[in-house]
A and B are shown apart, each in its own frame.
Chain A
Amino acid sequence: GAGVSQTPSNKVTEKGKYVELRCDPISGHTALYWYRQSLGQGPEFLIYFQGTGAADDSGLPNDRFFAVRPEGSVSTLKIQRTERGDSAVYLCASSLKGGYYEQYFGPGTRLTVT
């Protein structure tokens, strides 16, 4: 079956602009996670959704970052007033449920802020 998909695969934007990154999880997976991976580092947790609600958004670095999952399936990560330090690969993962269930990762969106 289809895995986790993310669009766009690459996004280049200018400092100060607004961007949206989309994640389409595996069908039937109730848990969805967003991570950020900077060059040479491991993924850093941003936010976790169980269904439509954000169960844990403690990893969002500041109020410029926001994520939604209105129908419990597709999720959008939104970044306002982008800064050069936001440049990274943004990874999305989904799992059947939360907890210790295996997470399936998407290919990521590479965001470059110039």
Chain B
Amino acid sequence: AQKITQTQPGMFVQEKEAVTLDCTYDTSDQSYGLFWYKQPSSGEMIFLIYQGSYDEQNATEGRYSLNFQKARKSANLVISASQLGDSAMYFCAMREGRDGGFKTIFGAGTRLFVKA
């Protein structure tokens, strides 16, 4: 079974609008961490935001927020006020275990296109 599922291969958003990128995960651990990364066409992976399984509040980092719904096992990324520079691949990822384990499991990614 896939651990991380990103069901949107591609998404379009108008500049200055908000967009939600979906991510669902599968784990039997009580302790885990969820991450979102951005990968522009240049190829580098850029960390965006982190949510711990025990965090009661949704994580926010500037224009990025993580809509964490633990019971539904979803960790959607919300980007507010989209900019042209947000066009990139976005990956949801998870680490499991009390100490974060060692593996980071990535989803297949969503390609975001921001239209002017």
Contacts and interface: CB of A to CB of B under 8 A. Distances in A.
B9 to A, nearest CB: 9
B1 to A, nearest CB: 16
Interface residues of A, number: 27
Nearest to B46: A105
Interface of A: 33, 35, 40-45, 48, 55-56, 58-59, 89, 91, 93, 98-108
B14 interface: no
19 contacts: A40-B108, A41-B109, A42-B91, A42-B106, A42-B108, A43-B104, A56-B101, A59-B103, A91-B45, A93-B45, A98-B99, A98-B102, A99-B101, A100-B50, A100-B52, A100-B100, A105-B45, A107-B44, A108-B43
Given A42-B109, A48-B103, A102 B47 contact: yes
Contacts, number: 60
B10 to A, nearest CB: 11
Interface in B39-69: 42-47, 50, 52
Interface footprint category on B:
20 to 34
A31 to B, nearest CB: 9
Given A42-B107, A98-B99, A98-B102, 20 more contacts: A33-B104, A35-B104, A40-B108, A42-B91, A45-B102, A45-B103, A45-B104, A48-B102, A48-B103, A55-B102, A56-B101, A56-B103, A59-B103, A89-B43, A99-B99, A100-B95, A100-B100, A102-B47, A105-B37, A107-B44
